[in-house]
Every structure is written in structure tokens, then in C-alpha cells.
């Protein structure tokens, strides 16, 4: 009797957690609120009658129905990119040269800002009031952490000042001041909790806490440094953007310094190397930005980085240690990476016991050998690297390291093509690659198959149950029963997770496929550009390259992946298993633009082109960079040229900016 009671309690908890996830994380509730409440009250009733069955993590222990797992996902109207890094004055000069090349004969001024080592955040104000605060996430979408951000004292709920805009998005960095970090760690150690490695991790951890009351105790801070969603016409420069945000009542990044030319900017960057220790927060470098927002707009971005700004990273902390061994790892793409196994050392906040040696050329350049004393460097989140061999400490004549001629995982001969630095195993069935691909497929941001970690992937592959990720969905309970250390419960969970993952958005699937050069952002663009996988497969290299954000190299790589019969077979398996293959405008507003391919050309007065593109995508349309017979609409701004002519030639419908705003169904902006 007792046993079945316990089983029912467990079943109820599982069900509640499942429905929580569907509601809070997937936004696809499957049961009515009343049914959910009934499950909850049955559980609460049983727990009242049998207090011995109450567990601290029971759903009944939660306060006010806060989500147990994850935060609501919010799409960024304008992607949150990252900055390219540089480490020397020369690289800053090269940045200046690239900028000038794109803006010939124009004076360019810069600003130099501290680069805060925190967590980037985007806040949207609607009608002057804070609407949502979202983390960077994968750049295309992040977590809604509004409740937590509201605990930061300096964040205004309403923008102030006469000139404050109704609708605006501002971006900045959430961080934990050093003093607060030390206090927090002292408290944690006293309570026998693990200390945080550095203020950045502490800030990240705090921002993801479920209980805002707890977050409030962490005393986070934020500085804003970017305005998006206001046309460049109304704010001419980055200096002004900072001043405006201050006027609106936002806490802005201090120490933003104008520089009339790059030499000036370099000098400022270098002078900060010594000053940074005096701040109550960590900065890991400086950011150099083009001051004029109009020039920023015209410089635009690559898929990853803006062309108008660059990070100058301070030299990383260096320490010495001994190379115990050099091993070779095989990645999911078949690349062989030599890795130094090190005598563990503590550097920049954590213990390091491995460092990448990149490739054979790098090993030769460094002349690193087993037994050598080496200098290693670690900066921010980059994998530590060996920077120098301390030759004076070399004892005897250790042997030079050579990359193996055969793959350490499968034994097949490896290949280093002429002109390439990488050595590759080209055996697609190489177990290490197979495991790597499946592990990537299951990872967060891809198909997010929880519980399918590397150890389990190894068991599945080594046990012959799966040869590629297409086989995952063919796994049955009986197959799993024979695996060592696999209980009935975990087998059931894995099968449930696999089933659940079939509903993931197309972007997750495309990312999970592991197409070279097609990371999360490209996957997102593809998923938004095609209604389903079938159309993506039918697209030519030219069609792909015509999509904004997809260059020729990426287009060729996608085409070649999809053209491979082996990959086609795997895709058929996934399709047959019922994995979601539909993309298009999931979770988009339904507007007159839904499903239309739009090209924007010329100067727009009310929005920047990037903003307009984001608005079109948000309204369910697709944005393409070139006019073709497949284009539905060309939005023609001022001074438009060849694209306008082409539209007229091809008879593609053209509209002006006012008509675009009507189609977008947007209200009057400030
Ligand atoms: S501008 C394209 N300015 O550094 C992103 N970023 O990879 C433009 N950061 O993700 C960002 N201080 O989180 C900018 N003064 C600053 C910054 C800053 C820190 C962060 C930001 C960004 C990362 C760069």
C-alpha cells in the first residue's frame, strides 16, 4: 500500500515537472490550468498525509509557482553580437585601416571604453517603462531575467527626463563589484558552499537564480554602453548616446573617452593597463569604437562581429609549469589537436591542467617537448595556451613531438593537405568523430537532449546502438536495458527526452547537424529563411548566398553538406522519426509581411537599415541582400541605386518607407 503511495507521489512530481517545462520553457502547455492545479493539490494532499514522503525539491516546496527550470526565451530584435579581439597596438592600427578602407576620404573619430568583464544584457523599454531584460544567450535569443534585473538598484523602472524615448532598447553589462564578490565568497565559505572562481562567474550565477529575493542580496550592478532601436539620426555619436542614456536615468559606463584618431585611442588603451587595478570591478580590456553612429551603421557587421568596434584585451596573466605529456584529441570535425598535459597550476582564477598546442606548426614554432617548462597564458574564457618554452630549464635532449600518421581514435591514416595547418582524420565513421557529432547534436542550443552527456554517448556508440545521430531516435527501452549502469528510470528518462527533442525548432536541428561554418546564428537565419527542411535542401548555393548574413563560404559548405548522400540518408532517418523539420516564422507576429522576401535599399529616415531588417524579420518576413525574381518587395529609401533599378527591371513591387511602416503595423515612434 505504502509503496504505491510513494509511486503515485513520484509520478505526480514527474508530471508536474514535465508540465512546468512545457509551460515555462517550451511555451506549449498541454494541459489546462485546472488540470495542473488538480495534480498539484493531489500531491500536496498526499504530502500532508505522509510527511515522510516530503522532499526538499518537491514542486510543492516552490514559492509562488516560480519556474523550476529555465527562463522564458526571448528573441533579440537586433542580434547581440560579440567584438573581435586584439592584443597589440599593431592590430588596432590594422582595425583602423579596415575602417578607413570602407569609409574612404572621411574623417573617423573613435571612442575608447573600458571593457567590463561581466554578463551582457539588453533592456527594452516600451512606452517609457521597462518591458523586458534579456541575456545575450546565443546572440539570437536569450533568457528573460527581468525579475532579477529589477533587483539591481540603479535600474530605473521608468525612463526619466523630457527627451526620453517611448520605445528603446539599451545594452550593457551586469557585473558584481569586487568588494561585493569578496563578501559573498566569505559568506559562502562560512556556510560550507563552494566559493565562486571570479566576479564574472558570480554575476552569471546570480543572474540565473530563480528567486529574485536571493538575487537582491547579491548586489549586482549594471553599466549601459549602447543604444539600439533609436535611429542614428536622432543620436549622432556614441559619446552622445552615453550622455542621452544618462539623461534618461540609466547608469552608464564611466570613463568613455573620445579619441580624435587611432594613435590617440591606442595611447588611451595602453594607459589603462595600469589603471585597471584601481577599479572596484574587473575589466579585461578596452573597447575602441567608431564614434559616429552613422558611420557605424554604414560599416555594419559580419555574422559575428560589428566592423565598427574592436576589443583590445590586456595581456593575460602568465605562469610557468611543466609539460607532462602531449596527447592528440580528435574533434567532431575530424581535426586532430595536440594538447599539452600540464602539471596543474592556478592561473587567472582557476586550475589549469591542459593547454592546446593547436597544430604541428605551432608545436614547431614553440619547439615544445615533453618535460619542458613552459609559460602558459589564460585570458577570460579562452582555452589556456602555451606561449613560450623556457629553454634554459630543458634537461637532456627530449624527443621532438610529431603528429601521428594515423588517427589515435580509429587508426586510419590522417591527412594534412597542402597549404593547410590542420591534420585531419577523414574517416567519417571514426568513433571519436561519431561521438563528437552526436554529443554536439544533443547539446544545449542544438537538440538539447538533456541527460545525453558524453559518457552516455560513448556507451551508445561503443555498444553499437548508434552510428550517427539519425540512429538516436531508433533506440528502444530493451536496447538500453543491456547497457551497464543504466537503470530503468534513466532509460525511461532518456527516451522521454528524445521524444521531447523531436519538437525542437528547426534552428536547433540545423545547428546540431554540425555543418562546417554554420553555427547557431547561421542555423537561426536558415530556419527563418525557409519554411521547412525540404525547401532548404532544394535551395541552390546562389539562393543561400543571397540571404543576408550568409556569405559564399557558408553557402558552399551548407550545399556540400546537404548534397552528400550519406547526410541525406541521416536526414531521412530524422524525418522518418518525426523530428520537426518545419522552420519559417515560428513564434512570429502575423502581419502583412509574413512569408514575404524583402530587400531594403537606400537610406531610411526613421530606422536604420539594420533596425528595419530586424523589424521585418520580427513581423514574419525574410530579408535578402539582393533582388531576384523571388523577391516579393523592395523597400526603397533615399539615394537608392542598382537594387531599385533591378527591381523595376524585374517588375518586383517597390514600396517606400511609410508603406513599410504601415505593413509593419507599428505605432508612431517618438
Ligand atoms: S560594445 C557587438 N562595449 O564585451 C557587441 N561591449 O564581445 C557590442 N562588453 O558582448 C558591444 N564592455 O558583453 C561593448 N564597453 C563595451 C563593453 C562591451 C564589455 C562586452 C559585451 C560584448 C563583449 C564583446
- Let me know if 304 is a catalytic residue: no
Which contacts (CB < 8 Å, 24+ apart) does range 261-265 have?
A: 261/108, 261/109, 261/110, 262/92, 262/93, 262/95, 262/96, 262/110, 262/288, 264/110, 265/92, 265/110, 265/112
* 381: pLDDT strictly greater than 50: no
Cα(501) to ligand 1 centroid in Å equals 33
Candidates 3, 22, 115, 393; catalytic one: 115
Closest atom, ligand 1, to C-alpha of 306: 2
Percentage of the chain beyond pLDDT 90 is 51
pLDDT value of position 362: 92
Cα(121) to ligand 1 centroid in Å equals 10
Closest atom, ligand 1, to C-alpha of 305: 2
The predicted-structure confidence for 429-479, as pLDDT tens digits, reads as follows 899 999 999 999 999 889 999 889 888 999 999 888 999 999 999 999 999
Cα(170) to ligand 1 centroid in Å equals 12
Does ligand 1 come within 6 angstroms of the Cβ of 283? Answer: no
In this structure, whether the domain defined by 431-576 belongs to CATH 1.10.150.20 is answered with yes
Does ligand 1 come within 6 angstroms of the Cβ of 173? Answer: yes
Residue partners of 14: CB distance under 8 A and separation at least 6: none
* 400: pLDDT strictly greater than 80: yes
Grid cell locating 294: 552613422
Architecture of the domain delimited by 597-663: 3-Layer(aba) Sandwich (3.40)
Closest atom, ligand 1, to C-alpha of 85: 7
Residue minimizing CA distance to atom 6 of ligand 1:
115
pLDDT value of position 615: 77
141, 86, 17, 456: which is closest to 285 by C-alpha? Answer: 86
The DSSP H or E segment spanning 286 is strand 283-290
Does ligand 1 come within 6 angstroms of the Cβ of 312? Answer: no
Does ligand 1 come within 6 angstroms of the Cβ of 302? Answer: no
Substitution candidate for ligand 1 out of 207, 287, 305 with most atoms within 8 A of CB: 287
The predicted-structure confidence for 477-517, as pLDDT tens digits, reads as follows 999 988 888 888 889 999 999 999 999 999 999 999 999 98
386, 396, 379: which is closest to 323 by C-alpha? Answer: 386
**What is the rounded CA–CA span in Å between residue 383 and residue 380?**
9
Cα(526) to ligand 1 centroid in Å equals 26
**What is the rounded CA–CA span in Å between residue 400 and residue 388?**
16
Residue minimizing CA distance to atom 21 of ligand 1:
120
CATH number of 3-61: 1.10.287.610
* 299: pLDDT strictly greater than 80: yes
Contact 611, 623 (CB under 8 A): no
Cα(119) to ligand 1 centroid in Å equals 9
Architecture of the domain delimited by 318-401: Beta Barrel (2.40)
Substitution candidate for ligand 1 out of 83, 85, 199, 297 with most atoms within 8 A of CB: 83
The predicted-structure confidence for 17-38, as pLDDT tens digits, reads as follows 777 766 655 556 677 766 777 7
Does ligand 1 come within 6 angstroms of the Cβ of 113? Answer: yes
Residue with cell 534513466: 490
Q: Where are the alpha helices (DSSP H) in 223-372?
A: 238-247, 262-275, 293-299, 360-366
Q: What's the Cα-to-Cα distance from 230 to each of 105, 130, 170, 642, 663, rounded to whole Å?
A: 27, 16, 10, 27, 19
Exposed e or buried b per residue across 348-381, where buried means at least 16 C-beta atoms within 10 angstroms of its C-beta = beeebebbbbbbbeebeebebbeebbbebbbbbe
* 305: pLDDT strictly greater than 50: yes
The CATH number of domain 73-313, selected from 3.30.450.20, 3.90.550.10, 3.30.470.30, 3.55.50.30: 3.30.470.30
Mean pLDDT computed over every residue of the chain: 87
**What is the rounded CA–CA span in Å between residue 177 and residue 396?**
49
The predicted-structure confidence for 197-249, as pLDDT tens digits, reads as follows 778 888 998 998 888 888 999 999 999 999 997 765 689 999 999 999 999 99
Domain boundaries, the chain: 3-61, 73-313, 318-401, 431-576, 597-663
Does ligand 1 come within 6 angstroms of the Cβ of 226? Answer: yes
* 264: pLDDT strictly greater than 90: yes
Does ligand 1 come within 6 angstroms of the Cβ of 227? Answer: no
**What is the rounded CA–CA span in Å between residue 570 and residue 559?**
15
Does ligand 1 come within 6 angstroms of the Cβ of 83? Answer: yes
Substitution candidate for ligand 1 out of 81, 113, 115, 137 with most atoms within 8 A of CB: 115
* 276: pLDDT strictly greater than 70: yes
* 57: pLDDT strictly greater than 70: no
Number of Cβ within a 10 Å radius of residue 442: 24
Amino acid at each position: 500500500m505504502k509503496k504505491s503511495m510513494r509511486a503515485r507521489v513520484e509520478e505526480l512530481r514527474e508530471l508536474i515537472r514535465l508540465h512546468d517545462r512545457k509551460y515555462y520553457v517550451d511555451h506549449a502547455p498541454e494541459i489546462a490550468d485546472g488540470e495542473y492545479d488538480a495534480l498539484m493539490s493531489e500531491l500536496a494532499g498526499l504530502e500532508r498525509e505522509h510527511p515522510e514522503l516530503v522532499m526538499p525539491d518537491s514542486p510543492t516546496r516552490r514559492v509562488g509557482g516560480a519556474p523550476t527550470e529555465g527562463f522564458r526565451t526571448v528573441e533579440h530584435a537586433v542580434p547581440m553580437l560579440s567584438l573581435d579581439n586584439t592584443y597589440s597596438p599593431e592590430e588596432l592600427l590594422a582595425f583602423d585601416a579596415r575602417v578607413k578602407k570602407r569609409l574612404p576620404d572621411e574623417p573617423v573619430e573613435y571612442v575608447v571604453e573600458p571593457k567590463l568583464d561581466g554578463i551582457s544584457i539588453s533592456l527594452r523599454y516600451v512606452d517609457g517603462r521597462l518591458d523586458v531584460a534579456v541575456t545575450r544567450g546565443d546572440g539570437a535569443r536569450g533568457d528573460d531575467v527581468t525579475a532579477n534585473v529589477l533587483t539591481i538598484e540603479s535600474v530605473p523602472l521608468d525612463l526619466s527626463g523630457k527627451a526620453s524615448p517611448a520605445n528603446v532598447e539599451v545594452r550593457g553589462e551586469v557585473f558584481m563589484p569586487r568588494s561585493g564578490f569578496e563578501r559573498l565568497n566569505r559568506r559562502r565559505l562560512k556556510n560550507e558552499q563552494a566559493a565562486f572562481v571570479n566576479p564574472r562567474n558570480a554575476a552569471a550565477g546570480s543572474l540565473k537564480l530563480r528567486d529574485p529575493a536571493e538575487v537582491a542580496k547579491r548586489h549586482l550592478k549594471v553599466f549601459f554602453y549602447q543604444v539600439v532601436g533609436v535611429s542614428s539620426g536622432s543620436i549622432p555619436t556614441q559619446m552622445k548616446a552615453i550622455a542621452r542614456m544618462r539623461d534618461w536615468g540609466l547608469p552608464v559606463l564611466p570613463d568613455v573617452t573620445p579619441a580624435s584618431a587611432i594613435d590617440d585611442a591606442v595611447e588611451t588603451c595602453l594607459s589603462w593597463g595600469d589603471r585597471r587595478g584601481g577599479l572596484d570591478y574587473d575589466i579585461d580590456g578596452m573597447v575602441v569604437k567608431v564614434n559616429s553612429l552613422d558611420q557605424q551603421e554604414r560599416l555594419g557587421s559580419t555574422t559575428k562581429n560589428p566592423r565598427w568596434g574592436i576589443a583590445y584585451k590586456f595581456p593575460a596573466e602568465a605562469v610557468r609549469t611543466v609539460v607532462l605529456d602531449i596527447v592528440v584529441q580528435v574533434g567532431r570535425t575530424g581535426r586532430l589537436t595536440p594538447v599539452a598535459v600540464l602539471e596543474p597550476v592556478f592561473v587567472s582564477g582557476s586550475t589549469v591542467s591542459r593547454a592546446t598546442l593547436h597544430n604541428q606548426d605551432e608545436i614547431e614554432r614553440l619547439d615544445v617537448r615533453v618535460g619542458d617548462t613552459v609559460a602558459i597564458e589564460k585570458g577570460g574564457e579562452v582555452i589556456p595556451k602555451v606561449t613560450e618554452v623556457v629553454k634554459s630549464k630543458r634537461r637532456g635532449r627530449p624527443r621532438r613531438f610529431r603528429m601521428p600518421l594515423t588517427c589515435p581514435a580509429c587508426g586510419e591514416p590522417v591527412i594534412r593537405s597542402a597549404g593547410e595547418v590542420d591534420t585531419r582524420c577523414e574517416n567519417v565513421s571514426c568513433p571519436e568523430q561519431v561521438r563528437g557529432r552526436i554529443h554536439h547534436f544533443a547539446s544545449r542550443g542544438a537538440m538539447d537532449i538533456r541527460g545525453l552527456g558524453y559518457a552516455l554517448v560513448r556507451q551508445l556508440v561503443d555498444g553499437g546502438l548508434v552510428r550517427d545521430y539519425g540512429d538516436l531516435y531508433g533506440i528502444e527501452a530493451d536496447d538500453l536495458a543491456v547497457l551497464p549502469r543504466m537503470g530503468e528510470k534513466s532509460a525511461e528518462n532518456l527516451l522521454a527526452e528524445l521524444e521531447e527533442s523531436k519538437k525542437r525548432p528547426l534552428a536547433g536541428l540545423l545547428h546540431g547537424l554540425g555543418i562546417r561554418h554554420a553555427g547557431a546564428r547561421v542555423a537561426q537565419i536558415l530556419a527563418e529563411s525557409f519554411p521547412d527542411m525540404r525547401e532548404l535542401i532544394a535551395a541552390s548555393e546562389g539562393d543561400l548566398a543571397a540571404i543576408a548574413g550568409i556569405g559564399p563560404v557558408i553557402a558552399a559548405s551548407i550545399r556540400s553538406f546537404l548534397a552528400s548522400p550519406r547526410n541525406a540518408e541521416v536526414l531521412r532517418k530524422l524525418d522518418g522519426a518525426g523530428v520537426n523539420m518545419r522552420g519559417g516564422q515560428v513564434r512570429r507576429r502575423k502581419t502583412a509581411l509574413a512569408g514575404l522576401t524583402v530587400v531594403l535599399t537606400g537610406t531610411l529616415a526613421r530606422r536604420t537599415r539594420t533596425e528595419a531588417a530586424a523589424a521585418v524579420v520580427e513581423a514574419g518576413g525574410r530579408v535578402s541582400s539582393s533582388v531576384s525574381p523571388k523577391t516579393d518587395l523592395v523597400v526603397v529609401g533615399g539615394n537608392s541605386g542598382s537594387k531599385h533599378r533591378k527591381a523595376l527591371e524585374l517588375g518586383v513591387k517597390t514600396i517606400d518607407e511609410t508603406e513599410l511602416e504601415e505593413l509593419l503595423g507599428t505605432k508612431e515612434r517618438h
